[in-house]
Chain A
């Protein structure tokens, strides 16, 4: 029997532009320009990405364009497409934390997510759901950002475990971020440490509902608030040696 407390799932509202990351540790009365996430030196005046983390000779290899919010089709088609997207969720099979261990039982005969049209996909290019499995160290965040940007939209993020929501037991760790939704947009949170596979599946069910209702537009949110997300990422990832946007 699944207890209600195991299925405590929250629907995440997009963070407003004015939210200040707790890590910033700055006085809110200071001028906004002094906050690191208002630092936009990494892009030029016409919003082209400079890719300054890369060696000079490699910059040409990567695109300097920012992601643009995608246009949706007309309403009836979009509803149909959303139904298809919800019934064909391909999960990126990257274990980004200890919570990823709860994903393995989902593909076994006991839970069998394939009956819901879901399957594991080994490459971010083909996946549509990114499951953040627990605590995110800064080293992992770099890979998460890279993989998330390589996924083709519409893409969805499910954050599993307490650590991805508020840092959990790593809340005062020097190398672990606290809220994953300051770095990539999150659609559904599944709380628990660890949440049972049933809770993770309930999270996916919630995600399906959001997709079918047309509310899971994390891709567009990321494109619209690209500066905010990028500044947050650059604030914690000190050794930024990758393109500013990974096409």
Chain B
């Protein structure tokens, strides 16, 4: 396939994952509302919010970095997604997965957050600064079990190429990493709770405490861009986890079912638990998930 055609297909799949990621956000808001005994917003509410934010007639900026913050964030989201194969064995939905491996994807997960931290810092709001400090500290903490888990499956499959990892899991659900390397999956799934930033790891946005967190000063198109990125990034993370641990997907319905299931794990935990404090959250990640991750690595090294 020519490069132009690959680009076109990559952007089509980007559109698909954005819509799916935002729909998931809407479904999750609905589920949280039902748990709290409310009716909740309609499932399509995230789309209306994004259109409304982009249709604002005025927007103000606090400087160049403030402007670039959401741009870095969405670049991180798109970058993460572009190097993940979406459907196994489908040449149209593999994005640019052959050009980069798992380490590049992990770098891109970090990249957006760092850019956003700089942008939110220039906004000058104290809540932004507190949330950025919390967010980066927590991110560093949950990257440890996630990195250990990735090292473990890299040893297991002898490759960092995501397509190879998915290929090794084909042939029945018992070949999924979930069953062949359960410890790595447990460590990574706990790390995912931190990535998704629902309770008990909702330190960054922390409603009722430091309302909104980093995007406190962001409005209008900036906020629209950040909300769009939330859809892309959500989708990208779920597709990555599906590929690494749950055998990937060969068609769209399977992809939707699996990513929905993976997301529901963090939603169930989020609906059931209250919020950790910053120091408790970091201590938690560096304790049990890290130990599980180390054991997962040691088992496969021996």
A115 interfacial contact with B, CB 8 Å: yes
Using known A-B contacts A87-B48, A153-B57, determine if residue A109 contacts B219 with beta carbons closer than 8 Å: no
Interchain nearest-CB distance for B93 vs A (Å): 31
Given A87-B48, A109-B38, A219 contacting B216 (CB threshold 8 A) = no
For B33, list chain A residues within 8 Å (CB).
112, 114-115
Please give me the residue from chain A that is nearest to B49 by CB atom. Answer: A88
- Measured in the bound complex, the distance between the Cα atoms of B56 and A72 in whole Å is 10
Asked if A122 contacts B211 (CB within 8 A), the reply is: yes
* CB-contacts of B171-219 with A (<8 A): 211-212, 215-219
Asked if B52 contacts A81 (CB within 8 A), the reply is yes
- B51 CB-CB contact with A under 8 Å: yes
User: Is B41 in contact with A114, judged by CB distance below 8 angstroms?
Assistant: yes
* B30-65 interface with A by 8 A CB criterion: 33, 36-42, 45, 48-49, 51-52, 55-60
Q: How many angstroms between the C-alpha atoms of A73 and B57 in the bound complex?
A: 9
Given that A122-B211, A126-B212 are known contacts, is A109 also in contact with B36, CB under 8 Å in the complex? yes
Pair A114/B56 contact, Cβ less than 8 Å:
no
Interface string of B1-41 (1 = CB under 8 A from A): 00000000000000000000000000001000100111111
Interface contact B48-A152, CB-CB below 8 Å: no
Question: How far does the alpha carbon of A125 sit from the alpha carbon of B42 in the complex, in Å?
Answer: 24
For chain A, residues 49 to 89, give those with C-beta under 8 angstroms from any C-beta of chain B. 70-73, 80-81, 84-85, 87-88
Verify A125–B58 contact, CB threshold 8 A. no
Interface check A26, CB cutoff 8 A: no
- B42: chain A residues at CB < 8 Å are 115, 117
Please, which residues of chain A bring their CB within 8 A of the CB of B51? 80-81, 84, 88
**B61 to A: closest C-beta gap in Å:** 10
Return A84 CB to nearest CB of chain B, in Å. Answer: 4
Contact residues in A for B286 (Cβ distance below 8 Å): none
Question: Knowing A114-B40, A115-B41, A126-B223 touch, does A70 contact B57 (C-beta < 8 A)?
Answer: yes
B59 to chain A, nearest CB (A): 6
Question: Would you call A123 and B56 a contact (CB within 8 A)?
Answer: no
| Complex Cα–Cα for A123 and B38 (A) | 24
B220 within 8 A of A: yes
User: Which residue of B has the minimal Cβ distance to A223?
Assistant: B58
Complex contacts, B57 vs chain A, CB 8 Å: 70-72, 152-154, 219
Q: Does A170 contact B (CB under 8 A)?
A: no
Contacts of A109 in B (CB 8 A): 36-38
Query: Is the beta-carbon distance between B216 and A125 smaller than 8 angstroms?
Result: yes
In the complex, which residues of chain A have a beta carbon less than 8 angstroms from the beta carbon of B125? 123
Within 8 A of A (CB), among B212-253: 212, 215-220, 223
Binding site for A on B (CB under 8 A): 29, 33, 36-42, 45, 48-49, 51-52, 55-60, 125, 211-212, 215-220, 223
12 further A-B pairs in the complex, CB-CB below 8 A; given A112-B39, A123-B217: A70-B58, A84-B52, A93-B211, A109-B36, A109-B38, A112-B40, A114-B41, A115-B40, A119-B41, A126-B219, A126-B223, A152-B220
Q: Which residues of A contact B (CB under 8 A)?
A: 70-73, 80-81, 84-85, 87-88, 93, 108-109, 112, 114-115, 117, 119, 121-123, 125-126, 128, 152-154, 219, 247
- Pairs across A and B, CB under 8 Å, 15 listed: A81-B52, A87-B48, A87-B52, A114-B33, A114-B41, A115-B42, A117-B42, A122-B212, A123-B212, A125-B219, A126-B218, A152-B58, A152-B59, A152-B60, A152-B220
Complex A-B, nearest 7 residue pairs according to Cβ-Cβ distance, in ascending order:
A122-B211, A70-B57, A109-B37, A125-B219, A81-B55, A88-B52, A115-B39
